[in-house]
Structure 1
Amino acid sequence: MSLGEQIAKNLPYLRRYARALTGSQSTGDAFVRATLEAALADKDLKSSLEGGRVPLYRAFNKVWSSAYMEVAEEGGEVQSHEDAASDRLRAITPLNRQALLLTTLEDFSMQEAGEIMGIAPDEVEGLVQEAVQEIDRETSTSVLIIEDEPLISMQLEDLVTSLGHEICGTAATRTQAQQVIAEKTPGLVLADIQLADGSSGLDAVDDILAIGSVPVIFITAYPERLLTGDRPEPTYLVTKPFQEQTVRAAISQALFFGSSRPLG
């Protein structure tokens, strides 16, 4: 397999990570493009990508980290301490959340995550444990589940409530989702793409976003179809069949950025 083919194969999943990391499709995709541009301009970096997925993510991590540092240095000269701190939270995902996303959403081993982040595996494990503890302390919110498979819907309900959140409603169709949001606007939405009556979870979410900005996590068996970078696409994507820790990490990251739109 050529280098171009290797990168093309892994690129959708790097976009998934980048979007979750930054809380934005546009920002995440921009950093992915910057990584590819850096590789084209640097022969050593380009050749390092031949090792597959881990080197690609490691290259992305270097580009993302260095770009953040430049922004922070520029902004620090003119912003108040409070504004700078607020912008920092919006601009960067803490190391413990990076470790959690890499080992859950992207399913890397502790060793692989350590290679990507440039730290030891045991340090990655410690960061993951910190992130899990943070999740347990997060403020609760109300969650709407849009899912047409009853067993999956019940599994998500159990997971959401175990995290201390409440269920404001469940829906198997776009119409049912409209009925739920007519009574209460959720603080978070978990949505399947294909619904029971042939309607789309994307359309159901658009109905909600017409009312207000709500973080949304899409759960789908075909994530690569929504990770092209060619159009407005979801920020948070979880692949079916999913692991509970993956959904848990995605919920935490979506709530971390709070008001970020899931599309655009």
Structure 2
Amino acid sequence: MSIGAEVAAHLPFLRRYARALTGSQSTGDAFVKATLEAALADSALADSLRGGRVPLYAAFTKLWASAYLETVGDPRDASLHELAAQGQLSKITPLNRQALLLTTVEDFAPAEAAKVMEVSEDEVRELVREAVAEIDRESTTSVLIIEDEPLISMQLEDLVSSLGHEICGTAATRTQAVEVVSRQTPGLVLADIQLADGSSGLDAVDDILAIATVPVIFITAYPERLLTGNRPEPTYLITKPFQEDTVKAAISQALFFGSSRPL
């Protein structure tokens, strides 16, 4: 397999990581693009990317760590959610955020995350602990769950409640989701992509965002269909079947970067 093919297979997930790390699709994508450009200009770096996800994420990390304080892109083009994210970035230690995302959302083992970040495994574990402590200080909110599979919906309800949040409603269709929001605006939305009546979770979220600005976490068995770079894409995207720790991390990140109250 060529280097290009190997890297391409990992790009959707690197973009997901970059967006969650920076809180912005445009900023995250810009750093990913810069990483690829650096590899094209450096044959040794390009050859190292044959090693899979770890060297690719490590290359991205070196570039991001050297420039994360800089603003990429025009803030006038950012959404309210992205602006909130950019404002919050200065309030949490970047290394903590990296360790949390790598070991939860990206599902790296602590040893792999340590290689990406060039720190020890013990340091990774401590950084994750600190990140969770920082994020857990955020206030609780109300959550709307858009999911057409009853067992998964119940699992998400239990998980959300265990974190101290309230369930403002559940919906299995686009219409039901809008009905819930018409009665109470949630502080967070967990949304499946394919719904019971053939409607789309993406359309349901578009309807909700036309009413209020809230952070959204999408859940899908086919993340590659959304992470193409060809259209506005979700910052928070969880792959089915999911791990509960992954959902918890995404909820904490979404509430940290976005307001827990409607804007």
**Measured at CA, do residues 138 and 95 of structure 1 come closer, stay the same or move farther in structure 2, by a change above 3 Å?**
same
How much does 1:97 deviate? 2.1
1:28 is matched with: 28
User: Would the aligned equivalents of 1:90 and 1:257 in 2 still touch at CA under 8 Å?
Assistant: no
Partner secondary structure for residue 107 of structure 1? coil
How much does 1:44 deviate? 2.4
1:230 is matched with: 230
**Measured at CA, do residues 203 and 122 of structure 1 come closer, stay the same or move farther in structure 2, by a change above 3 Å?**
same
Q: Where do 1:119-198 residues align within 5 Å?
A: 119-198=119-198
2:62 is matched with: 62
Amino acid at match of 2:156: L
Could you list the structure 1 runs, at least 4 aligned residues long, displaced by more than 4 angstroms after superposition: 69-72, 90-93
1:211 is matched with: 211
**Measured at CA, do residues 164 and 138 of structure 1 come closer, stay the same or move farther in structure 2, by a change above 3 Å?**
same
2:48 is matched with: 48
**Cα deviations by residue, 1:151-206 (Å, 9 ceiling, x for unpaired):** 10011011111111111110000000010010111110000000000000000000
User: Would the aligned equivalents of 2:114 and 2:121 in 1 still touch at CA under 8 Å?
Assistant: yes
TM-score for the superposition, normalised by structure 2: 0.89
1:82 is matched with: none
**Cα deviations by residue, 1:94-127 (Å, 9 ceiling, x for unpaired):** 3222111101111101011011111111100111
In 1: Cα distance, 2:91 partner to 2:14 partner: 18
**Measured at CA, do residues 219 and 213 of structure 1 come closer, stay the same or move farther in structure 2, by a change above 3 Å?**
same
Partner secondary structure for residue 210 of structure 1? helix
Coordinate RMSD, CA, aligned: 2.0
How much does 1:31 deviate? 1.2
How much does 1:131 deviate? 2.2
Gaps of 5+ in 2: 73-85
User: Would the aligned equivalents of 2:88 and 2:256 in 1 still touch at CA under 8 Å?
Assistant: no
Partner secondary structure for residue 238 of structure 1? strand
Amino acid at match of 1:23: G
2:19 is matched with: 19
How much does 1:32 deviate? 0.8
2:77 is matched with: none
User: Would the aligned equivalents of 1:194 and 1:200 in 2 still touch at CA under 8 Å?
Assistant: yes
Is 1:244 the counterpart of 2:244 in the alignment? yes
In 1: Cα distance, 2:28 partner to 2:158 partner: 31
Sequence identity (%):
78
Gaps of 5+ in 1: 73-85
Amino acid at match of 2:130: E
| Comparing 19-28 and 156-165, the one that deviates more | 19-28
